[in-house]
Amino acid sequence: MKKGFDADKYIKEQSKYILERVHNYDKLYLEFGGKLISDLHAKRVLPGYDENAKIKLLQKLKDQSEILICVYAGDIERNKMRGDFGITYDMEVLHLIDDLRDYGLEVNSVVITRYSGQPATTVFINKLERRNIKVYTHSAIKGYPTDVDAIVSAEGYGSNPYITTTKPIVVVTAPGPGSGKLATCLNQLYHENRLGKTAGYSKFETFPVWNVPLKHPLNIAYEAATVDLKDVNMLDSFHFDAYGEVAVNYNRDLEMFPVIRRIIERITGKESVYKSPTDMGVNRVGFGIIDDDVVKEASKQEIIRRYFKTACDYKKGLINEDVMQRMQLIMEEVGLKQTDRSVVCPARELAEKYKGRLIDNDICSVMAIELENGQIVTGKKSELMSSCSAAILNTIKVMSGIADEILLISPNILEPIISMKKDTLHNKYSALKAEEVIMALSISAVTNPTAQMAMEALKNLNGLQAHSTIMLTRSEDQTLRKLGLNVTCDPVYPSDSLSYN
């Protein structure tokens, strides 16, 4: 893979810039947007980016920082999912705490925002506290975010508890957008000021990238990633008026900036040091780009990938038609087609050959996977296994130089599994899913050196592109994500079954 981004240069530049910012305060509240761990979007649009760059950055600063994790009570109540991993926000908080601890980073507490006694959220609070994790609850503030007088008062921020912290940098993060990170930072600024401390606020958002052009595919890919939030990139007029310098930001930050500035000024009693929303940011990702053409092409591919995800979400009823229309406009703006993704046509063409053939009452689906050398490998559904399973086996055979006719898994292993699924577990579909086939392959590898060689090739699937002619089940999707495959799907159900998931 050709690199377009220098991860080491970025981490060095970013940590230096954050430390320069914190020198101005007794304590800096740093709002971390995007994914703190496994930022797969950044990895896809910036080839060479380390998906855990932010966590490694925090490791460099760990002696000076601690972490608050925010989660909105309403997201817990409605079981909101983190789309890239397919897990709920409350579970993501638990995973995040475990991951941060593994990296040796200190989690101060979890902040439940806009809490009003919601039952599922109360259960989650109990679960955290009984595992000795400190929890704070913040209530919704009447008039937030526009009524500054009400917000900056004893009945506003003063009614929410102060979170005791001990390090000069407090990182405020969350499992996803809308979790209340900004409100938590400003709430702390209010209390710190009343305690006579000089505290500041900064924002660390990777996208949009302020110092690349507004219509650069990298920034448009951010719009595609947040199409359901209706985020729109815009030129930062505040920044231009103050410095005569063009900078890119997005609508929500631009709309909120005058209010945030007034709140900070009301809290501190001083004129804000920030003249623009770009000033508030500490984002240096643009300085890590080393090959703009590589980044542009990767970003275009990400836009197409987001198009397919949006189309599938629309088919499932998860988003409204206006979101789908917005995504189509983004594709047209960049001049992209679905078939500009290299794995789409080979998958569709093979599926067309088997059109009308039913297997277990499902259409004969196909998956295509592109190797690093550009070769496309396909797999189709059979009575024995799913198209995902077939594509994975065929791909690792090609990678390992194993002839197509050689069986990697003995029928003596496959048949009992299929029989158990059908007769004992009473599964409606007996065809083996990707995870089941990988497990069977691992059993074969104990006595079969060829299967062992194929097993070792599984790690080489990481980062490859794949496309399915049907929407994958949740379990298949999660397995492919764990393998690191970047998968897109046509918005097609394999059958009329309403229970397909």
| Residue 201 in tokens | 């606020």
pLDDT at residue 1, rounded to an integer: 73
User: Dihedral, CA atoms, 159, 160, 161, 167, nearest 10 degrees?
Assistant: -130
Domains and CATH numbers, the chain: 1-25+36-201 (3.10.630.10), 207-281+291-339 (1.20.1570.10), 342-489 (3.40.140.40)
| Residue 276 in tokens | 């623009």
Q: What is the DSSP letter of 79?
A: T
What does pTM read for this prediction? 0.91
Residue among 359, 421, 427 nearest 390 (CA) = 359
Residue among 181, 233, 242 nearest 210 (CA) = 233
Task: Tell me how far apart the alpha carbons of residues 233 and 82 are, in angstroms, rounded to a whole number.
Answer: 23
Q: What are phi and psi of 227, to 5 degrees?
A: -60, -30
| Successive 10-residue mean pLDDT values, the chain, 501 residues | 92 91 91 86 95 90 94 92 74 93 93 96 97 96 90 95 96 91 96 94 94 97 94 96 96 94 94 94 95 98 97 94 97 98 97 82 90 96 92 97 91 83 76 92 92 96 96 92 96 80 64
Residue among 35, 36, 45 nearest 288 (CA) = 45
Residue among 16, 45, 58, 9 nearest 282 (CA) = 16
pLDDT at residue 176, rounded to an integer: 84
- For the four alpha carbons of 451, 453, 485 and 464, in that order, the dihedral sign comes to negative
pLDDT at residue 501, rounded to an integer: 64
pLDDT at residue 361, rounded to an integer: 66
